[in-house]
Amino acid sequence: MTRAWIEAAIVLGNDPTAKVRCPVCADAELAVSDVYPTPEAPVFERYMQCPTCKARNVMRMNRR
Protein backbone atom coordinates (compact mmCIF):
# COMPACT_ATOMS: atom_id res chain seq x y z
CA MET A 1 0.00 0.00 0.00
CA THR A 2 1.44 3.38 -0.96
CA ARG A 3 1.67 6.33 1.40
CA ALA A 4 -1.20 8.05 -0.47
CA TRP A 5 -3.48 5.05 0.13
CA ILE A 6 -2.48 4.94 3.79
CA GLU A 7 -3.36 8.62 4.18
CA ALA A 8 -6.71 8.04 2.45
CA ALA A 9 -7.39 5.07 4.75
CA ILE A 10 -6.66 7.14 7.85
CA VAL A 11 -9.07 9.88 6.77
CA LEU A 12 -11.81 7.48 5.66
CA GLY A 13 -11.26 5.28 8.71
CA ASN A 14 -12.18 8.21 10.90
CA ASP A 15 -14.95 9.60 8.67
CA PRO A 16 -16.35 7.45 5.84
CA THR A 17 -18.22 10.49 4.47
CA ALA A 18 -15.02 12.53 3.99
CA LYS A 19 -14.16 13.65 0.46
CA VAL A 20 -10.85 12.02 -0.53
CA ARG A 21 -9.38 12.16 -4.03
CA CYS A 22 -8.19 8.95 -5.65
CA PRO A 23 -4.51 8.35 -4.81
CA VAL A 24 -3.97 6.85 -8.29
CA CYS A 25 -5.61 9.21 -10.79
CA ALA A 26 -6.75 12.17 -8.62
CA ASP A 27 -9.69 12.64 -11.01
CA ALA A 28 -12.50 11.59 -8.65
CA GLU A 29 -13.37 11.12 -5.02
CA LEU A 30 -13.20 7.63 -3.56
CA ALA A 31 -16.47 5.80 -3.03
CA VAL A 32 -16.70 4.02 0.32
CA SER A 33 -18.71 0.95 1.25
CA ASP A 34 -18.65 -1.21 4.38
CA VAL A 35 -19.06 -4.99 4.27
CA TYR A 36 -19.98 -6.91 7.42
CA PRO A 37 -19.39 -10.69 7.34
CA THR A 38 -22.28 -11.20 9.79
CA PRO A 39 -24.61 -8.72 11.52
CA GLU A 40 -22.85 -9.16 14.88
CA ALA A 41 -19.26 -9.51 13.65
CA PRO A 42 -16.72 -7.48 15.67
CA VAL A 43 -14.83 -6.47 12.49
CA PHE A 44 -15.80 -5.30 9.02
CA GLU A 45 -14.08 -4.32 5.78
CA ARG A 46 -14.19 -0.80 4.36
CA TYR A 47 -13.77 -0.74 0.59
CA MET A 48 -12.45 2.41 -1.09
CA GLN A 49 -12.83 2.57 -4.88
CA CYS A 50 -12.33 5.20 -7.55
CA PRO A 51 -15.31 5.45 -9.91
CA THR A 52 -13.05 6.76 -12.69
CA CYS A 53 -9.98 4.51 -12.83
CA LYS A 54 -11.42 1.64 -10.71
CA ALA A 55 -8.41 1.60 -8.36
CA ARG A 56 -9.40 0.18 -5.01
CA ASN A 57 -8.15 -0.80 -1.62
CA VAL A 58 -9.63 -2.42 1.46
CA MET A 59 -9.06 -1.93 5.16
CA ARG A 60 -10.24 -4.13 8.00
CA MET A 61 -11.77 -2.22 10.89
CA ASN A 62 -13.10 -2.95 14.36
CA ARG A 63 -16.62 -1.87 15.21
CA ARG A 64 -16.73 1.01 17.62
Nearest to 13 by CA among 40, 36, 34: 34
> How many other CB atoms sit within 10 Å of the CB of residue 54?
10
Residue pLDDT, tens place only, 28-52: 999 999 999 999 999 999 999 999 9
Q: Which range of residues forms the domain containing residue 47?
A: 3-62
Q: pLDDT above 90 covers what percent of the chain? A: 92
What does the mean pLDDT of the chain come to? 95
Residue 64 has pLDDT above 90, yes or no: no
Structural domain count, the chain: 1
The CATH number of the domain holding residue 52 is 2.20.25
Secondary structure of the chain as H, E, C letters: CCHHHHHHHHHHHHCCCCCCECCCCCCCECEEEEECCCCCCCEEEEEEECCCCCCEEEEEEECC
